[in-house]
């Protein structure tokens, strides 16, 4: 059974994803059960990573920082990843980029998908994430979940203030497709890694 990590960075004390979190977790749990995947959520605040200051990535030499090592061990336990992506200046947040940089080998040959939110559903940030992930030797799903425009503003706690259930129907098809893809790639890459290690 593939183990999938849902990773999201909380930004200071206000996290817009917190509005979506209960619904997204409910949807993911239902789909993960259907796909026979185990999903675990990790908040980056649980891993107080320093800004990357190693001599090189752990592809070339072991990391020295204990938090970086603990992070690498955490990432190594999973077979696939779901990144929650907020778009800032057409890219991912610095917290997510730093988390990606703190590990290398543990990301290799594993799939990911993304749930993005923002004015254009974080589409530009997710595309940038895909470019970063290629360098980490990851596999991107074709599908992603983009919470943008009207949906984003409708449930935003400072604007529309509607209940998250109001946009559930809009999220379900893309979420199911993204999770189906992720589960398929997780099983395929798990088998390939196992065969290579044998």
Q: Check pLDDT > 90 for residue 12.
A: no
Q: Check pLDDT > 60 for residue 13.
A: no
What average pLDDT does the segment 67-77 reach? 96
Whole-number pLDDT of residue 31: 65
For 13-17, 178-182, 194-198, which range has the lowest pLDDT when averaged over its residues?
A: 13-17
Q: What is the pLDDT of residues 92-120, one digit of tens each?
A: 988 899 999 999 999 999 999 998 887 79
Q: What is the 3-state secondary structure (H, E, C) of 63-86?
A: CCCHHHHHHHHHHHCCCEEEEEEE
What average pLDDT does the segment 138-167 reach? 85
Closest by CA to 114, choosing from 101, 96, 129, is: 129
Whole-number pLDDT of residue 14: 40
Enclosing domain of residue 39: 3-197
Nearest-10 crossing angle of helices 17-34, 168-197: 60
Q: Which two tokens stand for residue 18?
A: 């917190």
Percent of the chain scoring above 70 in pLDDT: 86
pLDDT category at 165 given cuts 50, 70, 90 is confident
Task: Give, in order, the Cα–Cα distances in Å from 63 to each of 58, 60, 101, 136.
Answer: 6, 9, 11, 16
What is the number of structural domains in the chain?
A: 1
pTM above 0.85, yes or no: yes
Q: What mean pLDDT is reported for the chain?
A: 86
In sequence order, which residues have a C-beta less than 8 Å from that of residue 193 and are 6 or more positions away?
109
66 CB neighbour count, 10 Å cutoff: 8
What average pLDDT does the segment 155-174 reach? 81
pLDDT category at 37 given cuts 50, 70, 90 is confident
Residue 48 sits in a domain whose CATH number is 3.40.50.360
Whole-number pLDDT of residue 21: 61
pLDDT category at 17 given cuts 50, 70, 90 is low
pLDDT category at 190 given cuts 50, 70, 90 is very high
Burial annotation 100-133 (CB, 10 A radius, 16+ → b, else e): bbbbbebbeebbbbbbbbbebbbbbbbebbeebb
Per DSSP, the residues of the chain read --EEEEEE---TT--THHHHHHHHHHHHHHHHHHTT-EEEEEEGGGS-PPPP--SS-TTTS----HHHHHHHHHHHT-SEEEEEEE-BTTB--HHHHHHHHT-SGGGTT-EEEEEEEETTTTHHHHHHHHHHHHHTT-EE-S--EEEEHHHHHHH-TTTT---GGGGHHHHHHHHHHHHHHHHHHHHHHHHHHHHHH-
Whole-number pLDDT of residue 148: 83
């Amino acid at each position: 059974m593939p183990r999938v990590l849902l990773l999201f960075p909380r930004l200071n004390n206000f996290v817009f994803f917190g509005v979506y979190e209960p619904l997204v977790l409910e949807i993911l749990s239902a789909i993960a059960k259907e796909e026979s995947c185990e999903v675990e959520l990790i908040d980056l605040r649980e891993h107080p990573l320093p800004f990357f200051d190693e001599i090189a990535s752990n592809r070339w030499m072991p990391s020295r920082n204990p938090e970086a090592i603990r992070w690498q061990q955490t990432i190594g336990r999973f077979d696939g990843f779901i990144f929650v992506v907020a778009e800032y200046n057409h890219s991912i947040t610095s917290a997510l980029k730093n988390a990606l940089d703190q590990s290398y080998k543990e990301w290799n040959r594993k799939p990911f998908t993304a749930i993005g939110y923002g004015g254009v559903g974080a589409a530009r940030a997710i595309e940038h994430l895909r470019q970063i992930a290629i360098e980490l030797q990851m596999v991107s799903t074709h599908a992603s979940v983009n919470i943008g425009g009207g949906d984003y503003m409708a449930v935003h706690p400072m604007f529309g203030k509607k209940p998250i259930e109001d946009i559930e129907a809009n999220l379900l098809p893309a979420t199911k497709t993204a999770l189906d893809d992720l589960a398929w790639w997780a099983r395929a890459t798990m088998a390939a890694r196992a065969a290579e290690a044998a």
